[in-house]
Amino acid sequence: MDLSLTREQQRIRELAREFARTTLRPNALRCDEDAEFPLTSLRQLADLGLMGVNIASELGGLDAGVIAYSLAITEISAGDPAVAVTMAVNNMVSEVIQEFGTTSQKEAFIPRMTSGEFSSGSFCLSEPGSGSDAAGMRTRAEKTTDGWVITGTKAWITSGEFAGVFLVWAKTADDEISLFLVDPTAEGISVGPPEEKMGQHASNTVALSFDGVRVAEDALLGTRGQGFPIAMMALDGGRIGIASQSLGIADGALALTKDRPEFPTAPLLPLRARLEAARTMTWRAAWLKEQGEPRFSREASMAKLTASEVCNEIVSTLLTHWPASSELAHEQDLALLLKFVRDARVTRIYEGTSEIQRVVIARDLIRRGAS
């Protein structure tokens, strides 16, 4: 693995960094306070190609690979983690359709997700009774003569109120899970109120109810019964996204100490070292995925576990040691740090809690051995 970045990767990192610095960061506090879904920023990200970084160019993506995607998420997260998670889920949903969709499914959805016509896609896997135990879902899809009827409830769905397409997992038999592409405007879908969250208020998180929602035969994504492995594969990639987001939150918070000689550096030194270790792990997982490695679960989970844990320690340590001052600029930076503290916590929860990452790592060690 070569750790030097290609010109294209550097260009995408710069592009994302500049957008985060000029557009996201100056507005992050206000958008958080107003819990304003970032429609304009998402459209601008689409114009920059960042809503489909690892998507083929003929489908409107940048075709720039997984490392470029990771770099972009990190930079956008340093500007506003709420925008980054929305971008991450859109990229993840587009990639699932790209990998498992038929030509007509790809053409029908992906260009609209990469161009910004759809503000985002949603990944509807979790349910009120099955977050960590994804296979324990109760949503069902019953076969009809010309399609399927979906009934159930999904919980904590990112962008659920605004998405242009839902990926919905449902049981098609007691021991069989399948995946469906669902139009959010279909009859029988209702959207719950936005969840009251600790952080990332500008991202949208809602429950979705599916009450006898009819979808056509061609709504099935992948083959019948293939839903669970597709979810797990998507989450392996998604965990690289959240590891990258965690790096960006830590970077964004650490940037607040720049040119502040009064800030004690010693408490942060070991954490900075661990952050760089997490960055290398994240890039390695991204590199494995980019090489077409069929299974990189362990590396993705290790990266997500390490990056999200160190990110939380960094923001918390910065808060502990924040020097007293009454300057206005200092107060604004403190407000931004407090936002990073609140935004960071969920990186240890979504796309699999730290405990679930340990389960994935342990099972993979048993399956593949330690090498």
Task: Decide if residue 123 touches ligand CAA (CB under 6 A).
Answer: yes
- Which residues fall within 8 angstroms of residue 194, CB to CB, at 6 or more apart? 35, 161, 204, 205, 206
Pick the binder of ligand CAA from 31, 89, 110, 141 (CB under 6 A).
Answer: 89
299 is catalytic: no
Dist. CA 209–CA 192, nearest whole Å: 8
The gap from C-alpha 147 to its chain's centroid, in whole angstroms, comes to: 30
Task: Decide if residue 352 touches ligand CAA (CB under 6 A).
Answer: yes
Dist. CA 13–CA 246, nearest whole Å: 16
Pick the binder of ligand CAA from 228, 283, 287, 340 (CB under 6 A).
Answer: 228
Task: Decide if residue 356 touches ligand CAA (CB under 6 A).
Answer: yes
- Which of positions 132-161 make contact with ligand CAA (CB under 6 A)? 132-135, 158
- 22 by Cβ neighbours in 10 Å (0-12 / 13-18 / 19+) ranks as exposed
Which stretch in 11-19, 127-135, 140-148, 259-267 sits in contact with ligand CAA by CB under 6 A?
Answer: 127-135
Distances (CA, A) of 306 to 18, 174, 361: 27, 36, 12
Task: Decide if residue 236 touches ligand CAA (CB under 6 A).
Answer: yes
Task: Decide if residue 233 touches ligand CAA (CB under 6 A).
Answer: yes
Closest alpha carbon to 341 in 320, 363, 362, 369: 320
Q: Which residues of 64-88 are buried (b: 16+ CB within 10 A; e: fewer)?
A: bbbbbbbbbbbbbbbbbbbbbbbbb
Pick the binder of ligand CAA from 100, 210, 340, 350 (CB under 6 A).
Answer: 350
The gap from C-alpha 204 to its chain's centroid, in whole angstroms, comes to: 13
- Which of positions 184-213 make contact with ligand CAA (CB under 6 A)? none
Q: Which pair of structure tokens corresponds to residue 354? A: 């730290």
**Least Å distance between CB 264 and ligand CAA?**
34
Task: Decide if residue 255 touches ligand CAA (CB under 6 A).
Answer: no
Task: Decide if residue 299 touches ligand CAA (CB under 6 A).
Answer: no
Closest alpha carbon to 234 in 167, 182, 287, 139: 167
**Least Å distance between CB 216 and ligand CAA?**
25
Which stretch in 121-129, 172-180, 262-270, 302-310 sits in contact with ligand CAA by CB under 6 A?
Answer: 121-129
- Which residues fall within 8 angstroms of residue 169, CB to CB, at 6 or more apart? 124, 125, 134, 137, 139, 177, 178, 179, 180, 227, 228, 231
Task: Decide if residue 283 touches ligand CAA (CB under 6 A).
Answer: no
Task: Decide if residue 215 touches ligand CAA (CB under 6 A).
Answer: no
From the list 75, 95, 127, 351, the catalytic residue is 351
Give 31 or 360: the residue with its C-beta nearer to ligand CAA.
360
Dist. CA 278–CA 311, nearest whole Å: 9
Give 356's strand partners.
Answer: none
**Least Å distance between CB 329 and ligand CAA?**
33
Site residue total, ligand CAA (CB under 6 A): 25
Q: How does DSSP assign 258-287, residue by residue?
A: TT-TTS--GGGHHHHHHHHHHHHHHHHHHH
DSSP 8-state code for residue 147? E
SS3 content of the chain, % helix, strand, coil (to 5): 55, 15, 30
Radius of gyration of the chain (CA): 20
Which stretch in 29-37, 52-60, 147-155, 344-352 sits in contact with ligand CAA by CB under 6 A?
Answer: 344-352
Task: Decide if residue 15 touches ligand CAA (CB under 6 A).
Answer: no
**Least Å distance between CB 210 and ligand CAA?**
17
Q: Is 73:12 a contact under the CB 8 Å cutoff?
A: no
Task: Decide if residue 325 touches ligand CAA (CB under 6 A).
Answer: no
Which stretch in 7-15, 96-104, 331-339, 355-363 sits in contact with ligand CAA by CB under 6 A?
Answer: 355-363
**Least Å distance between CB 230 and ligand CAA?**
8
Task: Decide if residue 126 touches ligand CAA (CB under 6 A).
Answer: yes
Enzyme catalytic residues? 351
Which residues of the shown chain bind ligand CAA in the complex (CB under 6 A)? 85, 89, 123, 125-126, 132-135, 158, 228-229, 232-233, 235-236, 295, 297, 350-352, 356, 359-360, 363
